[in-house]
Chains A and B, each alone.
Chain A
């Protein structure tokens, strides 16, 4: 069964404070042959809902909005992720409350 992410988390992320490093993506997906079964894990498990599937069933991922939890690294670090590192110092999510 394919779980479709119908809930948009973006408005929640909009309340958070981010310093997005526009020049460096700290997480990248492999460029081609993405195993959709693997990708589906991230659709379900990413707290920020960053792993999306668009109307044409193609993958859509944006690292901006990442909460830096590491879930995708543990689930797919060896399969469909090309790179996972922490953002540069000072960049990324800044929890004001935590």
Chain B
């Protein structure tokens, strides 16, 4: 290394930062990664599952060696009320095909595995150090400040997560607004692997992703989730902040009530809670992406707001990998020409535009707004579905009604026009 200057310093040892570091070190660059926790993953939380497509490109067959939990081969979506739960249950061998497969993961183990790969590739991993600031000279980012220490680099990559105080200090974005982020709370509940197989009707090594709209988030924008791990269940509630503060109960209470719902409680019986976590999720989509390129600096992953919540699918980690790959390509190009100016680094934006990262963010750009503007998804439809099912399945001995009349009674409560409008708007935003 010449004059103590790194080619690249990466702030944050999550997936985006570690993959960027790994790709750069593999090409022979001098790379340092700084993580504030005692190990990579120690500050990170996922729901969660990772869609494999983007990491598969970088580390082929990664699921064979990485500490993934279960391959997801069953997708469930529910509309939940206080006493009922209406579920769509999709299981298919099509869900597990290599290249489009997805896995439940726990970030503690997963991120440490990824950090090991980066270290093997030559990344200098520094843990337990908080980066307080950036060295900025004449508008150009020249490295990092941590306590009394300064380290310089040709390029600094900010992978410091959804809160990204550094991007804010640079003035690349203002304060996040409560409608751009959701808070998630999660419990990990330990259960024997065979019990999970039985309760979730899974083959060994395969698992279920299950999302809920309705009462889990007290009828507010958000929902509940369950992912099966090898020998535990990840169970939680997510709620958009601007909505949460109008709720009639606290978020820890929402989680408790979700756990004791008659459809959920039996699934958890005998389980032992082994960790309780909370984390923010960037949910604003394309509209919340800040300035991500500057002189000597790029922003990747959650820090750049690269995340999509579609209600039936939540994606962040594959975007972290995708943006890391684009950033690494841009840095390699910059290294070749020794030009780390914002102008030259615009190639990061072009790479993103050509990749699924921007294509998907642009495609779904109106969806976060649609969810926020359509409260009926969370406080109307779950009740309607439960009432319809009750009329179908509950036999009382009373005289029968025609099916149309029976169903229209519930539809009318919300209004046929409203349903048509919501459906149309929803489909259009997808």
Contacts and interface: CB of A to CB of B under 8 A. Distances in A.
Interface of A: 1, 3, 5-7, 9, 12-13, 15-16, 19, 40-41, 43-49, 67-71, 73-75, 77-78, 85-90, 92-98
Interface in B123-181: 127-130, 146, 162-163, 165, 175-178, 181
Contacts of B187: 12
A70 B175 contact: no
Contacts of A86: 36, 130, 163, 165
A49 B108 contact: no
A3 B92 CA distance: 44
A3 to B, nearest CB: 6
A97 B188 contact: yes
Given A69-B280, A71-B183, A98-B108, A49 B252 contact: yes
Interface stretch (B271-279, B324-332, B356-364): B271-279
A98 B248 contact: no
A9 to B, nearest CB: 5
A5 B249 CA distance: 8
Given A15-B273, A70-B163, A86-B36, A93 B43 contact: yes
Contact of A47 (B106, B162, B165, B251): B251
B41 interface: yes
Contacts of B232: 97
Contact of A89 (B108, B128, B274, B279): B128
Contacts of B130: 86-89
Interface of B: 36-38, 41-46, 106-111, 127-130, 146, 162-163, 165, 175-178, 181, 183, 185, 187-188, 232, 241, 244-245, 247-253, 256, 273-280
Contacts of A75: 178, 241, 245
Given A70-B163, A95-B44, 6 more contacts: A45-B251, A69-B278, A89-B37, A90-B38, A94-B37, A97-B109
A84 to B, nearest CB: 9
A75 B396 CA distance: 49
Given A44-B245, A71-B278, A9 B252 contact: yes
B61 to A, nearest CB: 23
B71 to A, nearest CB: 19
A44 B37 contact: no
A22 to B, nearest CB: 17
Nearest to B175: A77
B276 A9 contact: yes
Nearest to B128: A90
12 contacts: A3-B248, A13-B276, A44-B251, A67-B279, A70-B163, A71-B241, A74-B176, A77-B175, A89-B127, A89-B146, A95-B107, A98-B46
B275 A45 contact: no
Contact of B280 (A15, A74, A90): A74
Contacts of A69: 183, 278-280
Contacts of A88: 130
B250 A44 contact: yes
A40 B276 CA distance: 22
A7 B253 contact: yes
A7 B38 CA distance: 31
Nearest to A12: B276
A46 B255 CA distance: 12
A26 B67 CA distance: 33
Contacts of A70: 162-163, 280
A74 B175 contact: yes
Given A94-B42, A95-B277, A47 B241 contact: no
A14 B107 CA distance: 20
A71 B277 CA distance: 13
